[in-house]
Amino acid sequence: MNDRETRRYDMFGRVQTFGLDHAADFAAGSKAKGHFTALTQIIQDLAVERAKQSGGRATAKEVLLEALRLDLRDITRTARAIDREEPGFADKFRAPVSDNPRAVLTAAAAMLQEMEKPGVPAKFVAYELPADFVQDLKDDLAAIAAADTAMESDDQEGVASTAAVGRLIKEGTGEVAHLDAIIRNKYVRNVETLRAWESASHVERAPKREKAPGGGPAPVVPPA
């Protein structure tokens, strides 16, 4: 949700609370009850769409990448030890050229290719790496690939959620407009309740940036 949508979402919640506080004033099956019920459903649907927009796939992938970095560190360290008896061996198991995901994945794929050669994994196991460390490396790469696919799916779902949020905000605004007419007629002689309604249904404006003398934006003052 953007700031404008969030402000309207907050307003919907206040209107819902107003409806609950004054529920006894409206007959079952009345238009007011219907609009309050519809708004409640819209609020629930918006909560679902907000959750879709804030998924944690990116975080999950970073956790997997960090595990892969640790695996590669163990492999390169062991390869350097083996290199003391087999000069040139460590050259086949170079650490990633940088810490970015692409470099890490490229290094892992190159190491895995070397591990496919007969007798190579056994040399690492002799230095107490787990017997299934090659399979662990494969599993790490597969999990990262799956996370990438899931993130692409999330991106598509995010686009759909953004469209759904816009539609729901529009529908909610319509429900409040209907309620505004009903409430003002219902409480025309009840100033206190009308004030409560106006407070609940008011949409906060976005804060304005202060202007510096001359009309330009205020300068940013660095922290002391």
At 62 the pLDDT is: 72
**224 residues of the chain, pLDDT tens digit each:** 677 788 899 999 999 999 999 999 999 999 999 999 999 999 998 888 877 665 544 445 677 788 888 889 999 999 999 999 999 999 999 999 888 888 999 999 999 999 999 999 999 999 999 898 999 888 888 888 877 665 555 555 555 567 888 889 999 999 999 999 999 999 999 999 999 999 999 987 655 545 545 555 544 444 44
**Single pTM value for the model:** 0.50
The label of the residue with tokens 């892992």 reads 108
At 221 the pLDDT is: 42
CA-nearest of 82, 75, 47, 79 to 165 is: 47
Going from the C-alpha of 4 to that of each of 10, 11, 14, 198, the distances in angstroms are 10, 11, 16, 19
The dihedrals phi and psi of 202, each to the nearest 5 degrees, come to: -75, 135
**DSSP secondary structure letters along the chain:** --HHHHHHHHHHHHHHHHHHHTGGGS-TT-HHHHHHHHHHHHHHHHHHHHHHHT--HHHHHHHHHHHHHHHHHHHHHHHHHHHTTSTTGGGGSPPPSSSSHHHHHHHHHHHHHHHTSTTHHHHHHTTT--TTHHHHHHHHHHHHHHHHHHHHHHHHHHHHHHHHHHHHHHHHHHHHHHHHHHHHHHTTT-HHHHHHHHHHHPPPPPPPPPB-TTSSBPPPPPP-
At 165 the pLDDT is: 86
